[in-house]
Each structure stands twice: as C-alpha cells, then as structure tokens.
C-alpha cells in the first residue's frame, strides 16, 4: 500500500500566525539597505490522524525555521515572490501537507498615507502541482531568482 493511501486526507489545518522576522525585501533601494519587519501567517492543510504522535503531524518548530530562513535569507523585490517561495518550500519540505496558504505582511510599506497593513496571500496545493505535471512539488518562478528589473 502506498504511503499517500495510508494517511488521512482532509480539511484539517495547522496555523502559525504572526511570525515576525527582519528582512530586506522591497523595490526601493532604501528597503534593501535598511530592512524592515515582516509578519508571516501560514495555514497548512492536511489530514490529521488524531493520534498523539509527532510522527503523524507537522513539527511547528521546523515550519517556523523554514519560514524564518526564507524571510531572513536572500532578498526579494516583491513580497508576492517571497510568499510564493515560502509556499513552495513548505510543500517541498513537509510531505504531510496537502496545501498551504501563506500571507506575507509588510506593515511598514513605503506608502504615501496612513494604513494598517499591506499583505499578499497565496494558496498552493500539492494536487494542483500534480495536475500541472509538477510531481507534487512546485518550483519558484524563474528558478527562485527575482528579476533584476522587478
């Protein structure tokens, strides 16, 4: 019996909300020099078995570390690209996750006015990736490298 057939499928969710990291993402030169605080929410969709074993779920600490490495790693010009990268990374690294919703918040975006928050939300699923020929893993657009002129 294959491993996918053995594990539960469902609409269960594990949510890590309000993870804060310092990164250097943005279109403006100052953003790349000064950096800023970014908040990330991750919603992992999976089938939870109900057992009391870490082997049957996702390790929250590992998810936090993966997201942190993405946000504090190399800079992106667009938070859209960062959110896509995080979603791809989580689907690649977490075999139990069927889909992921990622929100990257940029609460101090350089806008000419008063606002509470700016965020991008992406949703990626393993089944969509399979249907498009991705084999369950999606690759960042352009090999994960931001375009020089974006």
The per-residue pLDDT for range 87-134, each reduced to its tens digit, is: 999 999 999 999 999 999 999 888 889 888 999 999 999 876 555 544
Look at residue 127 in the predicted model and tell me its pLDDT: 76
The mean pLDDT value for 36-40 works out to 97
* Collapsed DSSP state (helix, strand, coil) of residue 117: coil
Average pLDDT of every residue of the chain: 84
DSSP conformation letters of 86-118 = HHHHHHHH-TT-SEEEEEEE-TT---SS--S--
Look at residue 10 in the predicted model and tell me its pLDDT: 72
- Cα separation, 20 vs 10, whole angstroms: 29
Could you say which of 25, 103, 105, 106 is catalytic? 106
- Cα separation, 74 vs 78, whole angstroms: 12
- Cα separation, 105 vs 19, whole angstroms: 10
Look at residue 148 in the predicted model and tell me its pLDDT: 40
- Cα separation, 37 vs 25, whole angstroms: 10
Q: Indicate the pLDDT class of residue 31, thresholds 50, 70 and 90.
A: confident
pTM, full prediction: 0.80
| Domain formed by 3-141, architecture | 2-Layer Sandwich (3.30)
Q: Which residue has the tokens 């859209």?
A: 80
Q: What is the DSSP letter of 108?
A: T
> Is the per-residue pLDDT at 22 higher than 80?
yes
Is 77 in the active site? no
């Amino acid at each position: 019996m294959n491993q996918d057939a053995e594990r539960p499928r469902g609409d269960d969710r594990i949510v890590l909300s309000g993870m804060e990291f310092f990164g250097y993402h943005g279109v403006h030169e100052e953003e790349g020099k000064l950096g800023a605080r970014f908040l990330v929410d991750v919603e992992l969709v999976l089938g939870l078995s109900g057992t009391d074993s870490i082997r049957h779920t996702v390790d929250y600490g590992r998810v936090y570390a993966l997201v942190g490495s993405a946000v504090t790693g190399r800079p992106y010009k667009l938070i859209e690209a960062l959110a896509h990268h995080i979603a791809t990374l989580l689907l690649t690294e977490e075999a139990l996750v069927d889909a992921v919703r990622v929100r990257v918040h940029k609460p101090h975006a350089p806008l000419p006015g008063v606002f509470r928050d700016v965020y991008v939300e992406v949703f990626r699923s393993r089944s969509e990736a399979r249907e498009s020929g991705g084999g369950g893993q999606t690759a960042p657009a352009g090999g994960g490298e931001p375009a020089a002129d974006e």
